[in-house]
Structure 1
Amino acid sequence: MPQDRHFEWWHHSHPTFAGITGFFAGMLYVTAVPGAFAGILRLLFTYETAEKLFPFVLLALVVPIAMLVKRKTRRFAQFMFVGMVVTTLVVLGVASLVLYFMVDA
């Protein structure tokens, strides 16, 4: 009986479960998917061809958009988009500050 209750704390229906997992999934999605896509393209094709094919990574946005349509995954997808947007803003903000300080110095 004690082993049946081992993962009782892991409530998938908990109100914050979808929010936390969606946010971190969005952070991972916006960083790992383009990197993995670029790596796979570079392994399969020449540099010039991989560079031409890289914009197709935007097709990966179909997955979170499709999750917004279905009611059961909508909350997760909303937080996933928040994680994607926040991560993008942080990366762009840090990159712009680093570039500013590099050029200014």
Structure 2
Amino acid sequence: MKLKPSGSLKIDTFSMRIGDIEKVELDRLHALSLSVGWPHRAEDWQFLRETGQGFVALDEIGRVLGSAMWFAHGAGLATVGMVITSPRLQTRGAAQW
């Protein structure tokens, strides 16, 4: 399944849109990582946004439901990280894509 920044996906009763991770408040990203038991602080998220690129999945009222980032290492190599699906959607099978 290929999603574009302007694309959307409906899962059960959830409607999501893809947004730029740069436009999301740090406390919302921090809350997402805490919700899955990850130790990342808001400062860590800031560093990650400065060194990488990414998208977030947002619900109709702007809550962060998921994230994914990538970090370029030269012209032909990148690593993927911060792939998180909120527990709310994990219970509905969304993390099994």
What TM-score results when the alignment is normalised by the length of structure 2? 0.23
Bigger Rg over Cα: 1
Structure showing the higher helix proportion among its residues: 1
Structure showing the higher strand proportion among its residues: 2
What TM-score results when the alignment is normalised by the length of structure 1? 0.22
**More relative contact order, 1 or 2 (CA 8 Å, 6+ apart):** 1
